[in-house]
Amino acid sequence: MSNDVKPNNHAKPRGKLDRLFRPIRRNRLFLLVYLWLALAVPELVLHCQTSLNWGTLMSPGLLLGPLFALVPALAVFFLCTVLPDPKANGAVSLVYSVICLVLCGAQLVYYRVFGTFFSIRSMVSGTAALQFTHTIFAALKACLPGLMLMALPLLVRLTMGRLLFSFRPVKSWQSHALTLAACALLQIGLVLILPVFGGRGDTTVYGLYHHSSDSYLSVNKLGLFTAFRLDAQRFLMGEEISGSIVLESQPTEPPAQTQPPATVPEETEPQVTETTAPTEPPLNVLELDFNALAEQEDNAAVAEVHQYFASRTPSRQNEKTGLFEGCNLIMITAEGFSHLAVDPVRTPTLYRLMNEGFRFSEYYVPDWGVSTTDGEYAHLTGTIPKSGEWSFSASVGNLMPLTMVQQLIGRGYSAYAYHGHTYDYYDRNEYLENLGFEYKGYGQNLPVTWQWPESDVEVVDLSTGDYVNDTPFVTYYMTISGHREYNFNGNMMCYKNREAVREEPYSEHVRAYLACQLELEYSLQLLLERLEAAGVLENTVIVLTADHYPNGLTPEELGELLGHTPERNFEIFRNGCIIWKQGMEPEVVEAPASHLDILPTLSNLFGLEFDSRLYMGRDVFSDAAPLVMFRNRSWITDKAMYNADTGRLTERTEESVDDDYVNRIKNEVNNRFTVSARILDQDYWRKLFG
């Protein structure tokens, strides 16, 4: 019989280190502290790395994230002491540590790529980002310091776990009962104190916990663990929580302006005169009885949307109504575009279109979360993308009658859409075809050269023949040439146009950005040439907006073009917009506007029958008050700017605004987010028009 003894890998550590750490190992509280830190440390790193400013850094999530992390720590501590096998107990702690690191690390990298946090619903769709391996690697490189900090607890577990922690089972049922009771009481206590952090509104921690599914705000204010747990719970139970709607009594129609009746002087002969009361322009409304629809609706969420639209004041037609009636329309969502890239010498076509049409002096393209597709969604649908959702993908199968393409198809227009990258990326083929476009992309009837990124000049060259002789037409381009990363090594459009920017006085990344935006300039030059050759340029309207700001540049790099580092809550999202028709009279639009305003503005310019109450933006030429909204619920009006992260209000005129005004705008902003989410979730337009 052999005397060899197999080593016991799970035996107690021996020697001096064993004697040194034995008191720590015997104290089970050190294991609990470790399990808490395994989640709290990645939570804190994630919070700090994704905070845009001091306001988001000092949000409630800085405190609530680590506090809520104690709840799963206690639950896992119970498992690590109740199982009879020490190996199983140790394995539970290790798996838990890995899950904490992977979840927080993945969210950090995802945020770096998309500017938001992924939800359960977006996890499957989010795998599409794997096509952009260069973007993923760049994000991993940028996030490496944060990922290393997140990994510290796991590193301790792997290197010193046997010395520091004992995984022998605890046989005292009283100890287990105390652990479970502490876990439950802590969870209940934390939920009860949530109103202390700002009250019970939808965007407070209380509202986000109970009434909303906004993943971006939830992670920032509640911490990742709680936000993700709530998201998983709602997903598994099939709950669609989009917030609440606060209705205010508002007239559904502005009162008519009438002249007081003329008085007849006594003891004089009455004189017969013809007087014509001044008439106001017609309202932009459809024959919709929202109050009756609300009374007939069994679905409470849909009934509330009916009531909301009934409470809104419609805008009127104006001197711009029908200005472009009967014209062809080309809509462009330009990848990573910024007005800062426009120059009269370097980009003469862009400069011409921006200055010879409607020029927006204060135009914003908010970053809604899911990068390009959310920018498209806001541009084409006039509604706010739902947080944590790939909104355009989720809209497939929904009725979309308010879009320009659907409205113009109803007037006999042909409809075409093009994108130079993979045709089904973001499910773009499905949602554009759902809107009514005949769609072509790489891999689907558009044989552009395969490179990264593809050339929009090629896209225009291959596409114009489809529609220039099929008038009237509505055509849509989602460009690709302006995509990040901005460098001269891996970005072919930057490399292609590198000589044109060689002498520009900027850093390499900024010059590379300007180089790839030149491809947009050249594609527009070719587009105008093709339209003119076909004899349709004079009757074609071109509309261009960005999908998002150039998020491949740092704020400091953007500052090279701007002249100073942009402020992170408002200024970084400021951009340019083109609404142009050859020969039109140039005009400046001074009121603040965003890409949510494009759809109602075009509906009015094209003389379409539409209901101005149904859009989250406004016709910029109407009497409706301007309102620009941002993902974190900040807002801009003609009177004030409100930073939701810091709670700071900045008045924009000499007229002071009171608390009633601020609260009314806050409620309206929250209402529009909630209503937009319900329009998507409930297929609301089908219920309204179906």
For residue 506, give its domain range.
290-689
- What is the reported pLDDT for 258? 33
| Domain assignment present for 359 | yes
- What is the reported pLDDT for 12? 52
Q: Using CA atoms, how far apart are residues 644 and 220, in angstroms rounded to an integer?
A: 13
Residues 23, 131: one domain?
Answer: yes
**Of 190, 213, 236, which residue constitutes the final position of a domain?**
236
| Domain assignment present for 263 | no
Paired tokens of 413: 């227009």
Paired tokens of 362: 């204060």
| Domain assignment present for 539 | yes
- The two counts, helices (H) then strands (E), for the chain are 26, 15
- What is the reported pLDDT for 541? 98
- DSSP β-ladder status, 578-581 and 363-364: unpaired
Could you tell me which residue, 426 or 676, shows the higher pLDDT?
676
**Of 170, 202, 236, which residue constitutes the final position of a domain?**
236
- What is the reported pLDDT for 18? 60
- What is the reported pLDDT for 91? 93
Q: Using CA atoms, how far apart are residues 41 and 94, in angstroms rounded to an integer?
A: 16
- What is the reported pLDDT for 277? 56
Q: Which residues are CB-neighbours of 78 under 8 A, at least 6 positions away?
A: 176, 179, 180, 183
Count CB neighbours of 169 within 10 A: 15
pTM (two decimals): 0.87
- What is the reported pLDDT for 181? 96
Helix, strand, coil shares, percent, the chain, to 5: 50, 10, 40
Least confident of 121-125, 261-265, 341-345: 261-265
- What is the reported pLDDT for 161? 80
Residues 228, 300: one domain?
Answer: no
Q: Report pLDDT digits (tens) over 494-541.
A: 999 999 999 999 999 999 999 999 999 999 999 999 999 999 999 999
3-class secondary structure per residue, 536-584: CHHHEEEEEEECCCCCCCCHHHHHHHHCCCCCCCCHHHEECCEEEECCC
Please, what sign has the CA dihedral across residues 147, 152, 155, 161? negative
Highest mean pLDDT among 96-100, 116-120, 386-390: 96-100
At residue 125 the predicted structure's pLDDT band, cuts being 50, 70 and 90, is: low
- What is the reported pLDDT for 120? 78
At residue 69 the predicted structure's pLDDT band, cuts being 50, 70 and 90, is: very high
| Domain assignment present for 78 | yes
Q: Using CA atoms, how far apart are residues 641 and 256, in angstroms rounded to an integer?
A: 31
Q: Report pLDDT digits (tens) over 135-164.
A: 778 888 889 999 999 999 999 999 888 778
Could you tell me which residue, 324 or 251, shows the higher pLDDT?
324
Residues 185, 311: one domain?
Answer: no
Give the CB-side neighbour count of residue 272, counting CA atoms within 13 A. 0
Residues 322, 222: one domain?
Answer: no
Coil, helix or strand at residue 163: helix
- Overall domain count for the chain: 2
Q: Tell me, what amino acid is at 618?
A: R
CATH assignment of the domain containing 419: 3.40.720.10
Q: Tell me, what amino acid is at 426?
A: Y
Residues 560, 496: one domain?
Answer: yes
The stretch 358-383 carries a mean pLDDT of 93
pLDDT of 267 above 70: no
Count CB neighbours of 343 within 10 A: 15
Q: Using CA atoms, how far apart are residues 477 and 475, in angstroms rounded to an integer?
A: 7
pLDDT of 481 above 60: yes
Percent of the chain with pLDDT over 90: 72
Q: What letters, b where the CB count within 10 A reaches 16 and e where it falls short, cover 437-472?
A: bbbbbbeeebebeeebbbbbbbbbebbbebbbebbb
Percent of the chain with pLDDT over 70: 89
Burial of residue 498 (CB within 10 Å: 0-12, 13-18, 19+) is middle
Could you tell me which residue, 647 or 257, shows the higher pLDDT?
647
Residues 232, 305: one domain?
Answer: no
Residues 654, 553: one domain?
Answer: yes
Residues 220, 313: one domain?
Answer: no
| Through-space distance between the first and last CA atoms of the chain, rounded to whole angstroms | 85
Q: What is the CA radius of gyration of the chain?
A: 29
The stretch 480-495 carries a mean pLDDT of 95
| Domain assignment present for 265 | no
Residues 451, 547: one domain?
Answer: yes
- The Cα angle at residue 542 between residues 537 and 543, in degrees rounded to 5: 175
Nearest to 424 by CA among 475, 373, 492: 373
Coil, helix or strand at residue 185: helix
Residues 192, 300: one domain?
Answer: no
- What is the reported pLDDT for 265? 39
Residues 452, 338: one domain?
Answer: yes
Q: Which residues are CB-neighbours of 224 under 8 A, at least 6 positions away?
A: 42, 43, 46, 65, 103, 104, 107, 117
Please, what sign has the CA dihedral across residues 660, 666, 669, 671? negative
* Cross-sheet strand order for the sheet of 574-575: 574-575, 363-364, 593-594
